[in-house]
Amino acid sequence: MSDIIAGRNAVREALRGARTIQKVFVQEGTHGGSLSDILKLCEAHHLPVERVPKERLDRLAGSVRHQGVAAQGAPVAFRDLDEVLAQVREKGETPLLLMLDELQDPQNVGALIRTANSAGVHGVLLPQRRSCPLNAVVAKISAGAVEYEPVISIGNMVRTMKKLKQEGFWIVGADMDGKDLYFDADLTGPILLVVGAEGKGLGRLVKENCDFIVRIPMLGQVQSLNASVAGGILLYDIVRQRQLVERKR
């Protein structure tokens, strides 16, 4: 199934139905008619709306007549954060969540979802704005992990971080000016790990709202890692620390 839904009726019915929509694109200068209903539905569902030139809509829609409107659908349905946390509590497990801060590269997002599933992460949080959409490319790179790993769409990242703090989570950000991952970071409790965007790192407000920051030791001439590689190293050190605790019990 295509990730792009084009045409006013098709988009409106997708918004009314069960299909997971990530974003709606509206042609610049377009207004009136059924578009008003579409915009109201977007507001009700807290969906971002992006005004774009006709040329971009033409590329998105391909041969389909878009009538000034298209939507980005997700290959799988998003999960609800509260439901995911409730399931973790029912299992009696120590929760581990991964949040991706404005990652734009579908290769990195797909690889991180795959690694998250392998590492037993209970859910991957994707912000609705300024991040790579959960599209077919991400699904392919994840090697099918999106079918199993709960992916949660969130609005305001800082608000979500504060909510999770109230739930007992420690918010851990990945950044080069943080504590040494291998000597100074206890990652055995309820953790939300936040991985920043390629070349940019964590956003200022996101970083300020982390409980602590960790860094991966860099021993060579290159002083940075691909986001998915860094995320994988961090996730598996959390796994290592937790398994050591379990063995000592």
Condensed to tens digits (0 to 9), the pLDDT of residues 193-245 reads 999 987 778 899 999 999 999 988 888 887 778 899 999 999 999 999 999 98
**105 and 64 share one domain:** no
Structure tokens at 114: 């795959």
Residue where a domain stops, chosen among 73, 97, 112: 73
Per-residue pLDDT for 3 more than 90?
no
Does the CA dihedral 49-51-56-58 come out positive or negative?
positive
Tell me which of 35 and 97 has the higher pLDDT. Answer: 97
Condensed to tens digits (0 to 9), the pLDDT of residues 5-43 reads 888 988 888 888 767 888 899 999 888 788 999 999 999
Q: In what order do the strands lie in the sheet with 151-154?
A: 151-154, 123-127, 96-101, 191-196, 170-180, 212-215
pLDDT at 80: 93
**b/e sequence 115-146, b meaning 16+ C-beta within 10 Å:** bbbebebbbbbbbbeebbbbbbbbbebbeebb
pLDDT at 1: 40
Residue-averaged pLDDT of the chain: 90
Of 87, 94, 89, nearest in space to 241 by CA: 94
CATH of the domain at 124: 3.40.1280.10
**48 and 106 share one domain:** no
Q: How far apart are CA 8 and CA 20, in angstroms?
A: 17
How many residues are given for the chain? 249
What mean pLDDT is predicted for residues 73-90?
91
Beta-carbon count within 10 A of 48 CB: 15
Q: What percent of the chain has pLDDT over 70?
A: 99
**167 and 183 share one domain:** yes
pLDDT at 2: 52
**40 and 127 share one domain:** no
What is the extent of the structural domain holding 28?
4-73
Residue 43 class from Cβ within 10 Å (0-12 exposed, 13-18 middle, 19+ buried)?
A: exposed
Number of domains within the chain: 2
Residue where a domain stops, chosen among 51, 73, 95: 73
**116 and 160 share one domain:** yes
CATH of the domain at 10: 3.30.1330.30
Beta-carbon count within 10 A of 182 CB: 13
pLDDT at 159: 96
Q: How confident is the model at residue 96 (pLDDT cuts 50, 70, 90)?
A: very high
Per-residue pLDDT for 157 more than 60?
yes
